[in-house]
Amino acid sequence: MAIKIGDPIPEVVLKRIREGVENVDTPTLFEARKVVLFAVPGAFTPTCSEKHLPGFIKRFDDFRARGVDVICMAVNDPFVMQAWGRTLDAPDGLQLVSDGNADLTRALGMEMDASGYGMGIRAKRFALYAENGVVRQLFVEAPGEFKVSSADYVLEHLPA
């Protein structure tokens, strides 16, 4: 069942790279803060690399000015996420986290089968806004679309 507004973020361990590969759990990422998490089907894929992550990079300071942290997640390994962030010059504060086994993706009910493209289970394209670990807004794209999870759209729809 897909997560909905008012639900807590499931407790899952993800991976990220800072000084090395590290585990980071969702309570650490979400508790006591405002967070936009956006998920992409895959790092280095066309829409994700040309529009989705670049939009959040461009608007990163606007999110931070509103006190909102930004996290990008994909069902890729942490080394791919790090390389992708470097390739696109993601700012240090924009976290790129790896959900390599799709644990959070499945816990959120946001998985899709991309086996037809040779990609296996991936995250649907979506964004969510959470306060203190609770989902306050959810923006899930229709298959093949890129509208409601864009940085501009999410920023416009954040609470004042």
Q: What is the pLDDT of residue 119?
A: 85
Mean pLDDT of the chain: 96
Confidence tier at 18 by pLDDT (50, 70, 90): very high
Which whole number is the average pLDDT over 34-61? 97
Provide the percentage of residues in the chain whose pLDDT is more than 70. 100
Domain residue ranges in the chain: 13-155
Residue 35 forms beta bridges with which residues?
69, 130
pTM score, whole prediction? 0.96
Residue range 13-155, CATH number: 3.40.30.10
Rg (CA), the chain: 14
Which whole number is the average pLDDT over 118-127? 93
Q: What is the pLDDT of residue 120?
A: 86
Which whole number is the average pLDDT over 46-72? 97
Instruction: Given the residues 9, 36, 48, 123, select the one marked as catalytic.
Output: 48
Cβ–Cβ contacts within 10 Å for residue 119, how many? 15
Euclidean distance between CA atoms 41 and 88, whole angstroms? 17
Answer yes or no: 48 catalytic. Answer: yes
Q: What is the pLDDT of residue 118?
A: 83
Euclidean distance between CA atoms 22 and 146, whole angstroms? 31
